Amino acid sequence: MNQKQAIKVENIVKHFGKDESLVRVIEDASFQVDKGELVALVAPSGAGKTTLLMMIGCVEEPTNGTVWLGDKKVYDNKWLTSEIRKIRREKIGFIFQAHYLIPFLNVIENVTLIPQTNGVPEKKANKKAMELLEYFGIAEKAYAMPSQLSGGQNQRVAIARALANDPQIILADEPTASLDIERSVSVVRLLKKIAQEQNVAIIMVTHDGRLLPYCNRVLKIEHRQVVM
DSSP letters of 54-119? HHHTTSS--SEEEEEETTEEEEESSBS-S-HHHHHHHHEEEEESS----TTS-HHHHHHHHHHHTT
CA 197 to chain centre: 16
What is the model's pTM?
Answer: 0.87
The confidence score (pLDDT) of residue 126 equals 94
| pLDDT higher than threshold 70 for residue 226 | yes
Task: Please give the average per-residue pLDDT across 8-31, as a whole number.
Answer: 90
Question: Is the CB of residue 141 less than 8 Å from the CB of residue 149?
Answer: yes
The confidence score (pLDDT) of residue 2 equals 67
Can you give the residue ranges of every domain in the chain? 5-227
Looking at the domain covering 5-227, what would its CATH class be? alpha beta
pLDDT digits (tens, 9 = 90+) for 170-207: 999 988 887 788 888 888 998 999 899 989 999 999 98
